[in-house]
Chain A
Amino acid sequence: MIEVHNLTKRYGSKLAVDHLSFEVEPGQVTGFLGPNGAGKSTTMRLILGLDRPQEGRATINGKRYAQLSQPLRTVGALLEARALHPGRSARDHLLYLAQTQGLPRRRVDEVLGLVGLQDVAGKRTKGYSPGMTQRVGIAVAMLGDPEVLLLDEPVNGLDPEGILWIRNLMKQLAAEGRTVLVSSHLMNEMAVTADHLIVIGRGRLIAALPTQEFIERSAGRSVLVRSPAAAELARLITARGGTVAMPPGAGAGGPTGNGAAVSPAAEVPAGAGAAVPPGGDGAAGTLSVTGLEAARVGEIAAEAGIVLHELTPRLASLEEAFMETTAGSLEYGVPASGMPGQDQQGMPAPDQQGAPAADQQGGRAPDQQGAPAPERAP
């Protein structure tokens, strides 16, 4: 359990963290999101007692970090910045840290095995690749078998195998009842990893809520359809109240199994008929449909005897939701009326105005949550 209360950190005149308060509960993976410079890494350093806040406090299981007698046994952390002497081997790095906690040498080899570095652990970290360096950092975090983990962009530099591994590791740690706070730039990564999200912008809290809710509240659902008769289908869908857009790279055929890898639907390219995408003659066109359930789209196609190559319901990606939410934060200060009603026709999200975690946002949220939804084609 991590509690951050009214935390404020200034570097000179730069306000990096601004009266930030949130809680991180055990038993789930909590994603820590925010645009570059939002203050995520700073917040983590403050929680870890590396930097001193001007105001506020951060506690771990009710104690300040400096009050923990063998902190690595309670908290494991992976920092954004390198924290390794290049002239020292990974094993010696882990060993000296283990010794401060009275941990046996055996534990060093265990965590080296855990991150798959046992064969190179005797070499100086100077020659390690970024991914290997990252693994050393993860080994350090796991060293004391901690019940609280803070991981600042852990997938940095990792190969796909490593990303999958760390994702499962985090889920497993959370399932064991530990507290896991993980920051990332990869929103899609968070969509599949995090159960809960804390979103900050300019050092302030924007939202703290379950991931699912964050996505649902922030942007609409859509259905991805591929069909050789896309133009015809688009016309039918539009006629039945749906909205059709052409995702970029349509027809290029990128399957989107996890439903999160596709960037926001773009407007129909110039030159194409407004509501009717091009490529009707034979090529399997891709449509992004909003305003209709996948089942309904399937029925429409069936009624008209149109062949479908793909019919995938998808939530707005976390990336879209994130852009939208933080765009609101960047526009903080602009009166709500300055942002025209963006609740476009066909947006099914029931309560766009519902402010996530309004209780924690000191009344700023409602403005921000009126933020524009991603543009859909007319």
Chain B
Amino acid sequence: MTRVAQPRRAAAPVGRHSARAAPGAGLGHLLTSEWTKIRSVRSTLWTLILLVVVTVGFTALLSLAVASSWDQARPGQRAATAADPVATILGTGITFGQLLVCVLGVLIVSSEYSTGAIRASLMAVPRRFPMLAAKALVFAVIMFVAGEVTAFGSFFAGSAILHSHAPVALSDPGVTRSVLGAGLYLTVLGLFAMAIGAILRHTAGAISTAIGVVFVLPIIAQFLPGSWGQHIHDYLPSAAGQMITQAHQSANQVLTPWQGFAVLCGWTAVLLAVAFYFLQRRDA
């Protein structure tokens, strides 16, 4: 039980001079503020920790499964794994990581709406563009750090476990790019989800939408026949973005790894533009 101390008598001076500090609300102030917002909510921190732990843990687990069943696996499958071990290592854990990144990206904006904190934020920063821009920037940096820790952690865990069957090193062609790329993919995916959160504003709806787009659409697109089906699939945000996490471009892919990543960035830019537009126009 905590007791609320009685408010200071109104006779006490109300406005102290510390309220009259150095003026000039720059981007620096907004970035600091957004960082405070993110670090001061436990669920955000926990989701970030979960992202790293679950992704690396899952990668290790699945790599162990692959390694222990190596002798029973079909020769074709073994050959595929050996040809691009990075794709196997990163592909497994990152799939789960994506889920958490979608949740995190959405929550970072939608929680402000669901709790009403957005009203306090917008009263402090009524020019809304800088506020969302600062949030996106801070979140991108945080996601980049968490994404790279996740990617390198997964890589080192997976490659150590698979070493005797499918050896792979960062110095192998395309490997460093794939691992770095996995972190970049998670970063941009986070912004993609954040944009969905900012457009839809409702947590549940935005998370469902983000997960639908990231997980379900590529699966549906895989059933589309012919080369146009492949095109549609490869241009979907998640399918395109994941290409950067493979050391080698597979034969049927219509985009190179960097092209694929650029496509994801394009989708994200469009959604962010829509988010900015709505933010300016709508009532808070």
Task: Write the residues of chain A forming the contact surface with B, with a CB cutoff of 8 angstroms.
Answer: 45, 48-52, 65-66, 68-73, 75, 77, 79, 81-89, 92-93, 95-97, 99-104, 106-107, 110, 113-120, 123-124, 129, 131-132, 135, 140, 142-145, 161-162, 165, 168-169, 171-173, 176
Contact = CB atoms under 8 A, between A and B. Distances in A.
A88 B115 CA distance: 11
B46 to A, nearest CB: 10
16 contacts: A72-B123, A73-B19, A83-B117, A87-B115, A95-B36, A96-B36, A97-B33, A99-B29, A99-B36, A103-B19, A104-B18, A114-B7, A114-B12, A165-B10, A172-B14, A173-B14
A50 B116 CA distance: 12
B49 to A, nearest CB: 15
B19 A107 contact: yes
Given A96-B36, A145-B16, A161 B6 contact: yes
A50 B3 contact: no
Contact of B43 (A72, A87, A144): A87
A143 to B, nearest CB: 7
A79 B119 contact: yes
Pairs A-B, 8 closest by C-beta atoms: A145-B19, A145-B15, A92-B40, A168-B10, A116-B7, A99-B33, A51-B283, A96-B36
Contacts of B3: 119
A178 B40 CA distance: 33
A48 B5 contact: no
B220 interface: no
Contacts of B119: 50, 79, 81, 83
A50 B25 contact: no
B52 to A, nearest CB: 21
A82 B10 CA distance: 24
B251 interface: no
A100 B5 contact: no
B127 interface: yes
Contacts of B121: 96-97, 100
B206 interface: no
Interface in B22-69: 22-25, 29-30, 32-34, 36-37, 40-43
Contacts of A69: 23, 25
B14 A169 contact: yes
Contacts of A132: 4
Given A82-B116, A99-B36, A50 B123 contact: yes
A89 B39 CA distance: 11
A148 to B, nearest CB: 12
B14 A176 contact: yes
B19 A144 contact: yes
Contacts of B33: 96-97, 99-100
Nearest to A132: B4
A116 B8 contact: yes
Contact of A82 (B36, B115, B125): B115
B30 A100 contact: yes
A301 B131 CA distance: 71
Contacts of A172: 10-11, 14
Contact of B4 (A88, A113, A116): A116
A97 B4 contact: no
Given A69-B25, A104-B18, A135-B4, A50 B122 contact: yes
A118 B25 contact: no
Nearest to A103: B21
Nearest to A113: B8
Interface of B: 2-12, 14-16, 18-25, 29-30, 32-34, 36-37, 40-43, 111-112, 115-127, 281, 283-284
A97 to B, nearest CB: 5
A314 B34 CA distance: 54
With most chain A CB atoms within 10 A of its CB, the pick from B3, B11, B115, B124 is B124
A140 to B, nearest CB: 6
A50 B283 CA distance: 6
A117 B37 CA distance: 20
A72 B111 CA distance: 22
Contact of B41 (A87, A113, A118): A87
Contact of A110 (B16, B112, B122, B281): B16
Nearest to A89: B40
Contacts of B111: 85
A116 B2 CA distance: 12
A85 B10 contact: no
A162 B21 CA distance: 29
A239 to B, nearest CB: 49
A88 B23 contact: no
A77 B123 contact: yes
B284 A51 contact: yes
A106 to B, nearest CB: 5
Given A83-B119, A84-B120, 19 more contacts: A50-B123, A70-B23, A71-B123, A83-B120, A84-B116, A84-B117, A87-B41, A87-B42, A95-B36, A96-B34, A97-B33, A97-B124, A100-B30, A103-B21, A116-B6, A117-B5, A119-B3, A140-B120, A145-B14
Nearest to A107: B18
Given A83-B116, A89-B40, A96-B36, A101 B25 contact: yes
Contacts of A70: 23, 25
B120 A93 contact: yes
Given A110-B16, A132-B4, A142-B14, A92 B21 contact: no
A132 B2 CA distance: 11
A106 B18 contact: yes
B115 A86 contact: yes
A353 B23 CA distance: 52
Contacts of A131: 4
